[in-house]
Amino acid sequence: MFGGPEVLEVQSVAVPKIMENQVLVRLEAFGVNPVDTYIRNGTYTFQPNLPYTPGMDGAGVVEKVGENVSDWKCGDRVFLSGSLTGTYAEKTVCESSHLHILPRNIDFAAGAAIYISYATAFVALYHRANMRPGESVLIHGASGGVGLAAVQIARAHGLKVLGTASTETGMTAIEENGGIAFNHSEDGYRDKILESTDNKGVNIIIEMLSNVNLEHDISTLIGARGRIVIVGCRGAIEINPRGMMGKNSSVTGMHLLQSSPEELAETHKFLQAGLETGILKPIVSGTTFTLDTVAEAQKRVIDRPLGTIGKVVAFPNY
């Protein structure tokens, strides 16, 4: 049944069989994402047939390849951008196209933190916001998995990066990755953001919690011809569109799975190059979770207790 974290249950099942064009991956770590919780509680647009194994990103080692697969061999280290059978598991079946080379300088935990966070951030900044060197970007919730990915990607493209967090730990993480940090739990933080832009407003806003921030983004923080990209939303909000009219600004939503094949191909090429050169450095939340404690991991990814930074990942019960 759908419901709270208590409906998650670990079961022993047979190792899934693969078809001629598929690959079996032994997982060493998997990502825990907010969307997993929305699917679990039945509020997401996609409602799977039950029983269902969540998860679509992770990292591990190729264990078996189908007879028509030539791109991969047993023993290859990979990170995943999808799964046919879910990644909250010890082993998962993937299409060949779901697999990407995990560089030797990146461990499996960091590998599991790559796809959803970094692909979402890149698509938001590059394909939706059309970022340009020299522009400014405000990233709400910049100490999370997508947030820190966006900080790194925007800095690599020559943008001035402003990021918000609610703790000293989060603000330090933003600054260590090249951003200017603001504490969104403090009164007057929006005024400080504006001051940092000479009161012109920012060119781009990456919005992780639009039901809280969007009206202020539109009326106060976005600059002339600015672009607001909605990455996250947990409820309804009332806005006044006049704020956009007066600035010729725009608001657009994004959903990673709605990206075109061409956009995803560009995204994968950037991620691979960024990982290999060290421009992109996935940051993992410090708390360790396993399949047995994945319900706690899902709570953490939503509640974000004080001090939580980076991507929440979990590990199989090996």
- pLDDT tens-digit series, residues 246-302: 999 999 999 999 999 999 999 999 999 999 999 999 999 988 999 999 999 999 999
Is the same domain home to 36 and 164? no
Same domain for 150 and 70: no
Task: Report how far apart, in Å, the C-alpha atoms of 238 and of each of 91, 218, 257, 290 are.
Answer: 44, 12, 27, 40
Distance CA 51, CA 2 (A): 10
State residue 235's pLDDT score. Answer: 86
Domain limits at 65?
A: 5-114+282-314
Contact 197, 136 (CB under 8 A): yes
DSSP 241-272: THHHHTTT-EEEE--GGG--HHHHHHHHHHHH
Single residue among 241, 257, 273 that ends a domain in this structure = 257
Q: How confident is the model at residue 46 (pLDDT cuts 50, 70, 90)?
A: confident
Closest to 217 in 3D by CA, of 233, 234, 230? 230
Asked if residue 269 is part of any domain, the answer here is no
Whether residue 136 is contained in a domain is answered as yes
For residues 45 and 121, membership in a common domain is answered with no
Q: What is the CATH number of the domain that holds 307?
A: 3.90.180.10
How large is the average pLDDT for residues 87-99?
Answer: 97
Q: Are residues 250 and 214 in the same domain?
A: yes
- Is residue 149 domain-shared with residue 103, that is, in the same domain? no
Residues 129, 200: one domain? yes
Q: What pLDDT score was predicted for residue 299? A: 95
What band does 233 get if pLDDT is binned at 50, 70 and 90?
Answer: confident
Is 109 in the same domain as 129? no
Tell me if 263 is assigned to some domain.
Answer: no
Q: Return the closest-CA partner of residue 14 out of 123, 93, 113, 119.
A: 93
Domain assignment of residue 268, yes or no: no
| Residue 54 to residue 255: CA distance in whole angstroms | 18
Contact partners, residue 300, CB within 8 Å, separation at least 6: 32, 285, 287, 289, 308, 312
- Taking alpha carbons only, the member of 64, 119, 120, 128 closest to residue 96 is 64
Residue 230 has a pLDDT of 97
Q: Specify if 267 maps to a domain.
A: no
Sorted by sequence, the CB contacts under 8 Å of residue 186 that are 6+ apart come out as none
Examine the domain organization and report whether 103 and 43 are in the same domain. Answer: yes
CATH number (domain holding residue 178): 3.40.50.720
What is the pLDDT, as a whole number, of residue 234? 86
Separation of alpha carbons 217 and 233, rounded Å: 14
**Prediction pTM value:** 0.95
Domains identified in the chain, total number: 2
Determine, yes or no, domain membership for 270.
no
For the cut 90, the answer to whether the pLDDT of residue 136 exceeds it is yes
To the nearest 5 percent, what fractions of the chain are helix, strand and coil?
35, 20, 45
CB 145 within 8 A of CB 116: yes
Phi and psi at residue 79, to the nearest 5°: -115, 155
Please state, in angstroms and rounded to a whole number, the distance separating the CA atoms of residues 24 and 15. Answer: 9
pLDDT for residue 20? 96
Residues paired with 216 in a beta bridge: none
Residue 106 lies in a domain: yes
134 with 249, same domain: the answer is: yes
* Whether 205 contacts 128, CB under 8 Å: no
Q: Is 274 contained in some domain? A: no
Indicate whether 91 and 9 sit together in one domain.
Answer: yes
Are 250 and 296 in the same domain? no
Whether the CA torsion 176, 179, 180, 182 is positive or negative: it is: negative
Q: What's the burial of 96, exposed, middle or buried (CB within 10 Å: 0-12/13-18/19+)?
A: middle
User: Quick check: 207 and 125 in contact, CB under 8 A?
Assistant: no
125 and 106, same structural domain? Answer: no
Asked whether residue 197 carries a pLDDT value surpassing 90, the answer given is yes
Angle at 107 between CA 273 and CA 24, to 5 degrees: 85
